[in-house]
Structure 1
Amino acid sequence: MKRTNSPRRRAAAIGALAAISFGLFAGPASAAGLYLSERGVRPLGRGGAFVAGADDLGAVVYNPAGLFDAGMSVLFDASYVHFSSEYTRSTIVRQTDPNTGATVSEGEQTFDPVRGSAPFLPIPTLGFSFVPHDQWVVGVGLWAPYAGIATYPETVNGGPAPQRYSLLSLEGSVLAVGGVYAAYAPTPNLRIGAGIEVLAGTFRSTVVFSGCVPDRFFCAPEQPSWDVLAELAVGPIVAPSGNVGVIYIPHPKVRVGLSGHLPFWVRSSGTIRTRLPSAAPFATARQEGEDADVAFELPWNVRLGIEARPTDKLRAELAFAYEDWGVHDSIRVDPDGVALKNVVGFPDTYYLPPVNLQRNFQGAFSTQVGGEYTIPLGKVRLDVRAGLRFETSAVPREYVSVLTIDSNKLTPSIGAGLHVGPVRLDVVAAHVILFSQDVDPREAKIEQVSPLVANPPPQPNIINGGRYSASATILGLGATYTFGKAAPAKAKAAGSGT
């Protein structure tokens, strides 16, 4: 009997919780994989096409070279992401011969649908920049990505919820990215920028494991009395990263932008607490220790944009991006003395060794088109904005779950900005359309986590088959106050103001 598989499964559970929770609340400004859309009230109003045209404090996310055109300014915005999802689980039910283990018959079972909802949680952007020299602008920023923070029910129609082995809740998580940025204009037609960032905060996540031992014939893999309720708290999180960018202005009516963002290298400690099953073998069992170290990477990205300014009133940009979610291929987990004690039929103490949990994400491509048109209204000006974004999924179909609902996405958006002297007031509305995913339970890959698996079953219980649908509506408000511009920007790029 290979009992060492038990701690590996338990460590995998810790890693899975950590990776998903980190991914949902943190990382570079990308919209595939674990994030829903581009971010920022003004940039999102342009569909995320804000690489070449970046010229306010929103540039710290898309292209730090654009910070130069922000001059000395202050920006604050906040957006509400109303995320909703529905999952109808399907699984393969097999009848096996208890003597040989051979499959006698099998069929597909469909469960009642479950719906995920998000709490009201405005996602902010804060920024301040100043001009220490005519050729330099320095800024600081604090922001978080737009993510689907969903909570799912514990019960459905009086029974345990079918998605409980993937996710119950992510409530209580607070993570943000803070950075220091600088932009330099060596010539009137060139801007170069860079930033140093840190992802910081804490999070909590709740999920259910199974305490069933399928090769011992005295329980079923999804029998409620064998459920293990687990709560994970991770932090403090301090994960470094950085970005760079350049904007070139070959002609007063054309701007070209290129930027890149490094991965976030997440290395953090955490604790996990469990409510062990009510089944008889756990009557005197307990968990000993609760600490673990978690390590993984979130993706790097590269962006390219070309903005045309045919008139002083019209700006239109076409942008492309690639996010290498392939770096998020696994999670490394190192438990620190975590063990289960006094489980009937097993040794007194199980210590959990280090383990790698495979994630197998993939790179994602996106295209953004958008712009803004200025309408003079007496002493004030009104910018009207619109954009459209399409991106491919970063999660292979067989690895989609309620923890990481992702698919090809289409995001139309509209927005506006009202200029009143040095103040600009912004608004945005966007709708994220995720194409429905049908995961054949025969092709699904995510196995149920059980901390007491002795010998791995020849046909593991798969928990992520079924149909997924989701969407998100994003509403945001913002304000920018500009004290003044850097001199080269005034001289050579008069049409580039905010």
Structure 2
Amino acid sequence: MRRRVSAGAALAAVALAGAARASSGLDSPEIGVLQLGRGGAWVARADDPLAAYFNPAGLAAQRTSAHAGLHFMQLGQCFTRLGPDGKPVPPSLTTPIPAPGSEGGPDPEVCAEGGIFPNPQLAAAFRVNDALVLGLAALGPHGVGGRAWPESLPYTHPTFGDLTQPSPQRYLLTSLDALILLPTLSAGVTLAEGLSVGAGFIWGAAAIDFVNFSEATVSRGGDDFNTHNDLRTRVRAADLFVPGLVLGARWAATRHLDVGAWFKWQDAVRAKTDLTIESRYWTTAGIKNEDPCRGEPPGCNVTEEKGAGELRLPVPMEAKLGLRYHKPRGAPRAGRAAAAAPGVRDPMADDLFDVELDFTWANNSAVDAIEVRFREGIPVRGTVVGFVPVNADVPHRWKDVMGVRLGGDLVVLRNLLAVRAGGFFENKGQDDADLNLDFHLGYRIGVGGGVTARVGPLDISAAFQHTSFGALDNGGKGNLKAVAGDATSGYRSLQSVNGGRFESSLNEFGLSGTIRF
């Protein structure tokens, strides 16, 4: 029987980066600066051009306008590997937890490298007539598209000095660079006074470059992590057409109460994958192997395969329902443009304040696994009769996520200055035993605030939000097995590779400008 060698065992992040939306994946509700400052409670307000994606019915009450925004996102993540007894296990040749600086190896906790990730948004609204407004938005999902975890960790051996050991999370994730775009063309129509509907077409596109490790052979005794028979796998994938649609409605039920609703459907991500595999990556001591070929031709351990396989991930459906209470001003707003169309709203000029309550749902249970299939018979160089496994599916077993958001604005100076605040809660979307490092599906709590200053036709807005994630901790009893080159084990590792505790937090600052004509 031909032996199959692991390749691309944990391709989770390749497609999940494209699935992070309103309540799924990493999201901490909406992208957008006004939305950020209100805790995401915005579906019934929908008063800037980003409504083209987040509620196209809101376009119908907007003037011709253009919007540009930018989020600066800092994601902190740490993973602690735990043994089946729930005790931390350091990445070393010995498994008991050592004292700091002893020969047992590095600290069992490892953290992703920090940094600021910029996430931009562009949008515009074009008023065609009194009833019809067209909208165009180009934005990405509300997530961090670039992450890096260490491949190895340094420590000081009392006899041999400074050394390294392979990192404990390497089978889950070591690096991810993702570019996700969601260009959306929408229309909002006023059907009757106070009632509008909208629809939009999404042309999704994703390009992802992802690295992780997998097992070439399975250890029959002891700790698989310490055998160092690893393959470094790099996967590049692109899907330039992931179609979808958004539907929205907005109803001014009374003079004080608005109701908003939104629904999104998107096709599954389907991507061809290019594969690069490096074998003989570590020495037997767990140090990076600087001479893997040892007299053989350069590149003897590197496998390059274009179009090696296919990836498929269902994208969860989502829906939102919002109730917005607002206190209108008694007198007509000062300086109202005579040419403004009937039904145009301007909360900064028309209202004293507003408060919105939103309920959200994401059909995350559609993501049971990421399907990763490779062609039959791809040899892995630098191994003895090693082949890429045909089935490298990654189980995730996500659950539906429900959320609640509460936020509002206070107009401090009419037509000049408004402040806002808000927060949200979303329930846990994954069992601890199924945790992965691609996205954190523990419960999420976020709080934020913001401000808008109006200078003539230009609104300048800023916001900050902090999101806390409930830790996922399976006490060392994880369910995820790495793909491995052993048919007798079903081409999977004998022990779980996700046993441990995963913690995350997110801080972000946003700045935007909206000009109305």
Q: Same fold (TM over 0.5)?
A: yes
- In structure 2, the partner of 1:296 is 313
Shift of 1:85: 1.4
Letter in 2 for 1:72: T
Instruction: State how far apart, in whole Å, the 1-side matches of 2:274 and 2:383 are.
Output: 25
Shift of 1:441: 1.5
TM-score w.r.t. the length of structure 1 is 0.84
Structure 1 residue 361 corresponds to structure 2 residue 401: no
Tell me: CA distance 1:280–1:38, structure 2 relative to 1, closer, same or farther (3 Å). Answer: closer
- In structure 1, the partner of 2:489 is 456
TM-score w.r.t. the length of structure 2 is 0.81
Structure 1 residue 322 corresponds to structure 2 residue 318: no
Structure 1 residue 375 corresponds to structure 2 residue 381: no
Work out whether residues 373 and 393 of structure 2, in 8 Å CA contact, stay in contact via their aligned partners in 1: no
- In structure 2, the partner of 1:71 is 63
Instruction: State how far apart, in whole Å, the 2-side matches of 1:310 and 1:259 are.
Output: 24
SS across alignment from 1:455:
helix
- In structure 2, the partner of 1:22 is 15
SS across alignment from 1:298:
coil
Instruction: Flag structure 2 segments of 5+ consecutive residues without an equivalent.
Output: 86-94, 99-106, 156-163, 285-291, 294-299, 329-350
- In structure 2, the partner of 1:487 is none
CA RMSD of aligned residues (A): 2.8
- In structure 2, the partner of 1:101 is none
Shift of 1:278: 5.1
SS across alignment from 2:184:
strand
Work out whether residues 213 and 454 of structure 1, in 8 Å CA contact, stay in contact via their aligned partners in 2: no
- In structure 2, the partner of 1:58 is 50
Work out whether residues 29 and 61 of structure 1, in 8 Å CA contact, stay in contact via their aligned partners in 2: no
Query: Greater shift after overlay, 27-36 or 231-240?
Result: 27-36
Instruction: State how far apart, in whole Å, the 2-side matches of 1:32 and 1:123 are.
Output: 18
Shift of 1:117: 3.1
Letter in 1 for 2:110: V
- In structure 1, the partner of 2:199 is 194
Map 1:109-128 to 2 at 5 A: 112-128=108-124
SS across alignment from 1:362:
coil
Shift of 1:320: 0.3
Map 1:116-155 to 2 at 5 A: 116-148=112-144, 149-155=146-152
Instruction: State how far apart, in whole Å, the 2-side matches of 1:160 and 1:321 are.
Output: 41
Describe the superposition over 1:181-210 as per-residue Cα deviations: whole angstroms up to 9, x where unpaired: 100101121110011002213110111111
SS across alignment from 1:289:
strand
Higher normalized helix content (fraction of residues) = 1
- In structure 1, the partner of 2:72 is 80
Structure 1 residue 168 corresponds to structure 2 residue 207: no
Shift of 1:211: 1.1
SS across alignment from 1:35:
coil
Instruction: State how far apart, in whole Å, the 2-side matches of 1:143 and 1:339 are.
Output: 38
Query: Greater shift after overlay, 287-296 or 201-210?
Result: 287-296
Structure 1 residue 432 corresponds to structure 2 residue 425: no
Tell me: CA distance 1:229–1:355, structure 2 relative to 1, closer, same or farther (3 Å). Answer: closer
Letter in 1 for 2:181: A
Identity %: 22
- In structure 1, the partner of 2:226 is 223
SS across alignment from 2:13:
helix
Work out whether residues 241 and 265 of structure 1, in 8 Å CA contact, stay in contact via their aligned partners in 2: no
Work out whether residues 27 and 143 of structure 2, in 8 Å CA contact, stay in contact via their aligned partners in 1: yes
Tell me: CA distance 1:309–1:416, structure 2 relative to 1, closer, same or farther (3 Å). Answer: same
Describe the superposition over 1:11-56 as per-residue Cα deviations: whole angstroms up to 9, x where unpaired: 6x2xx31x423212x2363143233443210011111111111122
Describe the superposition over 1:71-109 as per-residue Cα deviations: whole angstroms up to 9, x where unpaired: 21100000011111121111238xxxxxxxxxxxxx976
Letter in 2 for 1:433: S
Aligned length: 455
Instruction: Flag structure 1 segments of 5+ consecutive residues without an equivalent.
Output: 94-106, 484-498
Instruction: State how far apart, in whole Å, the 2-side matches of 1:418 and 1:153 are.
Output: 43
- In structure 2, the partner of 1:423 is 458
Instruction: State how far apart, in whole Å, the 1-side matches of 2:29 and 2:61 are.
Output: 25
Letter in 2 for 1:81: M
Letter in 2 for 1:154: E
Query: Greater shift after overlay, 460-469 or 248-257?
Result: 460-469
